[in-house]
Amino acid sequence: MNLKQKKLLCSLIGGTLLFSMSGVGSAAEAPEENFNFDEYVVTASRMPVKMSEVAANVTVVTHDEIEKGNFINVPDILRKANVTVEDGSSGSIPFLNGDNRVLVLVDGRRMNWDQIVTSASKGGVNLNNIAVNNIERIEIVRGPSSSLYGSDAVGGVINIITRKATKESTSIATEAGSWGMRRYNFTTENKLENGFGYMITAEHKKQDNIEYKNARTGQVTTLPQSYLEQDSMTMRLDKDLSNGRSLSLQVEHTDKDFGFGGTAPGQAAWHYENGSGNSKDDNMALTYNLGADNFFRVYRNHSTEKVSYDGLTTGYDVERNATGAEWQQSKQLNAHHTLVTGADWRQTDFKYVSQVIDNTYTTKAFFLEDHWQLPSNWTLTLGSRYDNHSIIGDHITSRLTANRKMNDKTNVFASWGQFVKSPQVEDLFSNTQWFMGNPNLRPETGETVTIGINTEIKDGTKVQASVFSSRVKDAIDYMYPANSRGFAYNIANQKRQGFDLNLSHQFSSQWSASAGYSYVQIKNMGAGATDYSLDLSNSQPNGYHLGVQYDQDKWNAGLTLRAASGRSLQQFTSSSYITLDMVANYKINSDTRIYLKGYNLTNRAYELKSLSTFNAYLTPGAYPMAARSFYMGVEHRM
């Protein structure tokens, strides 16, 4: 830690103590609020804060939206919310503000690994391994949050909040559709009079090789080794205690067999005609809640994955374990100050059999943030986090935000935040015939400035707009020299800037619509370079979405258009694309409904995953998205 960082940390702690002393005698622990999720969000500040007081670009996907959309995976939910999600043979990863360094949480618990889980993912998380049936809502916060959550929260944070049992209910569902897809689901919950509640879900789904439209020939053809068979189970047990306290136990299990084709056919050695794999994820967390945002949690995540490139020999074999403990407490110091403070400890053990890597990461962290209520409806936050990484060393990240509530329908905000992203294990220690680790890598660091507005204008039209500018130092990139092993290295600088606009309008009790536009520009400047060059791997320089929803009596239906333009033809088969999805639900009675879904109705040939660092070995079209598909299902509540 340098002298400047020490001074910053000491100043923040000293100011916090001063505020605390000024509130002695009247301050007490913030009482648990029976807050309405329609008015509050928790992820942006690690505690319930009114939407009108959050100084961030936040999108919320509700349980009602998830249920009406009949989604079977998290990537489809996020795409509906205009989040870019790249699909590859090994999984799906999200992008926020054009950045794949995104932190994914489940009930505030970190799901990212310190290893590459999906191809070229700096986030180390596969969204397909997260169950959908127990999701209450998803909060999407764009912009850095390292001062609250540590490494990975560079582009933003996605917090998946699970459901807590509120009543006695049991439901079964089945679904079938394109490419032999079959899905069976069971969900049961109950809240007993003694304060004990349980929510249990179980699901089995299976799908044969999908089809895609070849951008060059226009023909729809099978994508080899894209099959999937997955079993998942979740269990949440809650026990209400006295004085607003409670215990919560969460268990998650996923077992998946999948094809590992690598790329579409015709991509030389990167397409595996007989590639296959198996992965298992087992997670457990025990949380002692002392109020709405005060808790102590211990957890353990375990994951194994084995992949064979030829169906016979092992391509890679990896085992990951993460054990962690988290403590958080908010304290109302006085009428104007609420302090959120906490500590994290996490140890990650990982073993790559094929790469002869056996290492352990340990991270210790302490954070605090002051929420300051000012006159004239101003809200100010100032916070810092200290992280000590057993290999990378220690870092301090801070943030400052300001929000002004103009009236009941409008607020404006500005924020400045620092971030840090540690190198992945493979980046540091890999030793294969294709890739060699670089133990001299420096962590990626930088800062982002965001300004925005949320308002409701005439006739009930809601508008959300924000602009951001980000600077990254020592961004990690990859080089694959001809006839040599690839390696990771720090480029000199990277800058990102963008704009995000979303509108929604309720035309009547039956009809509503939403529309949006996003712009992201990414530029890199390598060591020794005199100027920045455009990053051509950006899959959505200009993004567009349009949604129309109809809801009346027993029917509800939705149509969603997604589009992008300004893409590089060196990375993608087309500079733009438009695709259309639909869903329709019909309630036969109060307990039974049937539904129909259709994806890529335009049957467009397009890709969301760029060639990225493998540009010298691949050609555009290596990672095609699925062709037009349809699914029909039925759900019955018993």
Q: Please give the mean pLDDT across all residues of the chain.
A: 87
N-term to C-term CA, the chain: 59
Distance CA(145)–CA(384), nearest Å, equals 10
pLDDT, one tens digit per residue, over 532-556 is 999 888 999 999 999 999 999 899 9
**Global pTM?**
0.90
The whole-number pLDDT of residue 26 equals 30
pLDDT at 485 over 90: no
Q: What is the reported pLDDT for 119?
A: 53
Name the pLDDT band for 627 (thresholds 50, 70, 90): very high
For 29-83, the pLDDT digits (tens) are 333 444 455 678 888 888 888 888 888 899 999 999 998 898 988 999 998 888 8
pLDDT (tens digit, 9 = 90+) per residue, 182-225?
999 999 999 998 999 999 999 999 999 999 999 999 999 999 99
**Percent above pLDDT 90 for the chain:** 57
Q: Tokens 């409670």, residue? A: 246
Distance CA 136, CA 65 (A): 10
Nearest to 187 by CA among 203, 174, 176: 203
pLDDT at 267 over 90: no
pLDDT of residue 122: 60
Phi, psi of 4 (to 5 degrees): -60, -45
pLDDT greater at residue 324 or residue 10: 324
Instruction: Mark 321-333 as b/e (b = at least 16 C-beta within 10 Å).
Output: ebebebbbbbbbb
Q: What is the pLDDT of residues 228-263, one digit of tens each?
A: 999 999 999 999 999 889 999 999 999 999 999 988
The pLDDT of residue 131 = 84
Q: Round to whole Å and give the CA distance between 544 and 565.
A: 9
Q: How confident is the model at residue 13 (pLDDT cuts 50, 70, 90)?
A: very low
Please tell me the least confidently modeled range out of 32-46, 251-265, 306-320, 408-422. 32-46
Q: What is the mean pLDDT of residues 438-460?
A: 90
Per-residue pLDDT, 390 = 87
Band of the pLDDT at 616, cuts 50, 70, 90? low
pLDDT of residue 14: 43
**Residues 397, 421 contacting (CB under 8 angstroms):** no
C-alpha 393/C-alpha 352 separation (Å) is 23
Burial of 591 (0-12, 13-18, 19+ CB in 10 A): exposed
pLDDT score of 614: 55
Q: In this model, does residue 132 exceed pLDDT 80?
A: yes
- pLDDT the model gives residue 218: 94
Pairwise CA distance, residues 535 & 610, whole Å? 11
Q: pLDDT-derived band of residue 432, with 50, 70 and 90 as boundaries? A: confident
Mean pLDDT, range 396-410, rounded to an integer: 93
Q: Is the confidence at residue 593, as pLDDT, over 90? A: yes
Give the integer Cα–Cα distance in Å for 98 and 82: 12
Q: What is the pLDDT of residue 3?
A: 44
Residue with tokens 């699970």: 162
Q: State mean pLDDT over 276-290.
A: 94
As a CATH number, domain 3-637 is 2.40.170.20
The pLDDT of residue 20: 40
Task: Measure the CA–CA gap between 372 and 340, rounded to whole angstroms.
Answer: 11
Rg (CA), the chain: 24
Tell whether the model's pLDDT for residue 392 goes beyond 90: no
User: How far, in Å, CA of 154 to CA of 159, rounded?
Assistant: 14
User: Among the listed ranges 95-109, 165-179, 302-316, 375-389, which one has the minimum average pLDDT value?
Assistant: 302-316
Q: Judge contact between 91 and 126, C-beta under 8 A.
A: yes
Tokens of 582: 């639909």
Identify the pLDDT of residue 335.
Answer: 84
**In whole angstroms, what is the distance from residue 179 CA to residue 209 CA?**
7
Q: What is the mean predicted confidence (pLDDT) over 586-595? A: 95
Q: Which has the higher per-residue pLDDT, 443 or 481?
A: 443
Dump pLDDT digits (tens) for 568-581: 999 999 999 999 99
**pLDDT confidence of 121, banded at 50, 70, 90?**
low
Residue with tokens 């932190």: 103
Domain boundaries, the chain: 3-637
Question: Which of 429-444 are b and which e, b meaning 16 or more Cβ less than 10 Å from the residue's Cβ?
Answer: bbebeebebbeebebb
